[in-house]
Structure 1
Amino acid sequence: MQSADRNGTRLAATAILMRDGESGLETLMMKRPAKGSFADAWVWPGGAVEEEDHGDALAPNEAEGAAALAAAVRETREETGLEADPSTFVAHAIWSPPAEVRPRFRTWFFMGPNPGGTPVAHESEVVDLAWVRPGDMLDAHAREEIVLAPPTWVTLFQISASSSTSEALERCAAEPFEHFETRVREGGKMFCWFGDAKFEDEDGTGKGRHRLEATTRPWRYVSEPGR
């Protein structure tokens, strides 16, 4: 097991596999069991970085990403039986939970194409496994039929803007790599990130907006620079 840093944060990785379905872009998602991390939630393959994921010594600014990428490939194999090619992955973002969350995981999200083969769910960790359309998952969440964590919801929203795997990967490569350091506001009904008026000051009155509004469904993601 990889040790935590001085703030008690461990490193983790998530693998977002995509393919072109008959009705548009699809992504491979799985439902977690009713007990444990992300209980009953739909997520992508992923998990904590382990010692085996650390390869040859790299520069400090490269080592974390390389270990996370190795973990994304390993977790995909362990949870779905698919063998992803690390060279096809594009780093999408890093998600850090609110300061009060324990255990804490700083999670790298990677996007990649379908490696081929038939996915097989890991029985003890996966209740259901399916290729799904991002928009369908957002609609099901709006109807309160499924559970999605904020990072999953935001990423599905971002992916839903693309009509194909190639478009999604091109967007990912072209857009700035972002660190979503999460802060909770309004009693858990708002999640905000750097660039939002309430990121540093809960009573912030600035015009910047970078948040997920979760008071009612459907949730609403807003990213508007301050002016």
Structure 2
Amino acid sequence: MFDMQSADRTGTRLAATAILLRDGEAGLETLMMKRPANGSFADAWVWPGGAVEQQDQEIGIAPNEAEGAAALAAAVRETWEETGLRPDPESFVAHAIWSPPQGVTPRYRTWFFMGPNPGGQTVPHEVEVVKLEWVNPAAMLEAHAREDIVLTPPTWVTLFQISASATAEEALERCAAEPFEHFETRVRDGGKLFCWFGDAAFEDVGGTGTGRHRLEAATRPWRYISEPGPRGSTRAS
């Protein structure tokens, strides 16, 4: 059995994030929490999630499926522990993997899963959750632009992607239809630019090519741009 709980040779451990969606009175909503001022992601708004533990691993899983299976089990377990909701693992769709830039510690390669609201009463974890709310993705981006809340780049980009959908069903259909992406993050310009594979600055710090797959974070609102080539499309906010 693969030990997904231990760090690999780069010091990276496996983790999972669960993005629950529902249709609210004002449109699409997702369940998010504010972390405490101390600890990981201090004061930031995030989704339920955490590191893979021994109990999340199954015996007999093929090596090429072991990581995804362990991450999915962790996403379900962490959602239950942090929110009191118990999602059906079969309802989740794998959305993306986020890997941190070099120099970040502790290091977690995190699977993001998206799924529908399983229903039930939310019960926030007393220690790990300051606030637990169903929020509108676009409203969260606007609050971040006003500097009212803290978001990390993976959370910001994912909220931006979700905000393109009007309903939970539409968001889940988009997630299932679009390519599963690995965001291996590289930081440029002193932390003002985050880029991923396909961006001119991903391999070349000078960024002399034409491709753009980046988050421009020098000023607010941040801007996410996906422009694979001279004839590509741009997504920005």
* Alignment TM class, shorter chain as reference: over 0.9
Q: Pick from 66, 73, 79 the counterpart of residue 76 of structure 1.
A: 79
1:26 aligns with 2:29: yes
> Scaled by the length of structure 1, what TM-score is found?
0.99
> Scaled by the length of structure 2, what TM-score is found?
0.95
Alignment partner, residue 97 of structure 1: 100
Alignment partner, residue 152 of structure 2: 149
In 2, the alpha carbon distance for the partners of 1:58 and 1:118 equals 33
Structural RMSD (CA): 0.8
Task: Note the C-alpha offset of 1:204.
Answer: 1.9
In 1, the alpha carbon distance for the partners of 2:60 and 2:17 equals 23
Map Cα deviations across residues 133-192 of structure 1 (whole Å, 9 max, x no partner): 000000000000000000000000000000111100000000000000000000000000
Counterpart mapping for 1:89-168 below 5 A: 89-168=92-171
Runs (4+) of structure 1 moved beyond 4 Å? none
1:197 aligns with 2:200: yes
Tell me the SS of whatever aligns to 2:159.
helix
Alignment partner, residue 210 of structure 1: 213
1:45 aligns with 2:54: no
Alignment partner, residue 174 of structure 1: 177
In 2, the alpha carbon distance for the partners of 1:226 and 1:181 equals 19
In 1, the alpha carbon distance for the partners of 2:164 and 2:124 equals 28
In 1, the alpha carbon distance for the partners of 2:163 and 2:95 equals 14
Structure 1 stretches lacking a partner, 5+ long: none
